[in-house]
Amino acid sequence: MHKFSAAGLAVILLIFGLATSARSDVEFGLSADDGGLREFHLAVGDFYRVPEKEVVVVRERRIPDEELPVVFFLASRARVGPGVIVGLRLDGRSWMDIALYYGLGADIFYVDARADGPPYGRALGYYKNKPKKEWKYIRLADDDIVNLVNLSFISKHYGYSPNTVIKMRSQGKGFIAINSDAKHGKIGKESKGGVKQAKAKEGPKGKSKSKGESKSKRR
């Protein structure tokens, strides 16, 4: 009876351990077969200098994956914790409203690129049609901000021209798929070299740093 109880306890502990491990995989990094989600989370964490766990925690607060870069971008520019930005978002504020709340204008979202049609033509057209001194008064829709922040993040993180990323997005690809293609070199070497700050990373205080540069331009 004693031997049976010990064996039964061992089986229970084994099952509990496997269940806990599986749950951890889902919560902190997802599974290996996740369609590039974990790669996207790791890239966001690396670029904005936050642990992957923090990226996943923000996601678990019902922030869509492609909006995660916006959370960390605004947190770095506003110099507040990502949780503060998430709280404002969950209160129903638009991304533009959150930026304005911290005194940040639409000029911080600008990306030097060319686009005539969707999804970038409208947003970039706002900047094209106004003097630079008036960019901060532009009011962008949520979709425009998500597209511009992801464009900046992916092109700078991997060193691709923003126009290359725009082309892929215009073909209907989502940013998780674009990130995966960029990470695995599926875009093509000829598309690289169009970003001066290719390896720049956005730190927690909104400053960009890259090798060989003592000072980086703010985004």
Determine the pLDDT at residue 209: 44
Whole-number Å distance between alpha carbons of 6 and 74:
54
**151 close to 165: Cβ distance less than 8 angstroms:** yes
| 178: Cα separation from own chain's centroid | 12
79 burial class (0-12, 13-18, 19+ CB within 10 angstroms)?
exposed
User: What is the Rg, in whole angstroms, of the alpha carbon atoms belonging to the chain?
Assistant: 21
Q: What is the pLDDT of residues 186-216, one digit of tens each?
A: 886 545 655 444 444 566 544 444 434 333 3
Residue listed under structure tokens 């209160």: 91
pTM: 0.76
How many Å is the maximal CA-CA distance in the chain? 85
Determine the pLDDT at residue 141: 97
**142 close to 186: Cβ distance less than 8 angstroms:** no
H helix intervals, the chain: 2-27, 37-48, 52-59, 68-78, 82-90, 95-101, 121-128, 142-158, 162-170, 175-183
Q: What are the pLDDT tens digits along the chain (219 aa)?
A: 444 455 444 444 444 443 443 334 434 444 444 779 999 999 999 999 999 999 999 999 999 999 999 999 999 999 999 999 999 999 999 999 999 999 999 999 999 999 888 999 999 999 999 999 999 999 999 999 999 999 999 999 999 999 999 999 999 999 999 999 999 988 865 456 554 444 445 665 444 444 343 333 444
Determine the pLDDT at residue 48: 98
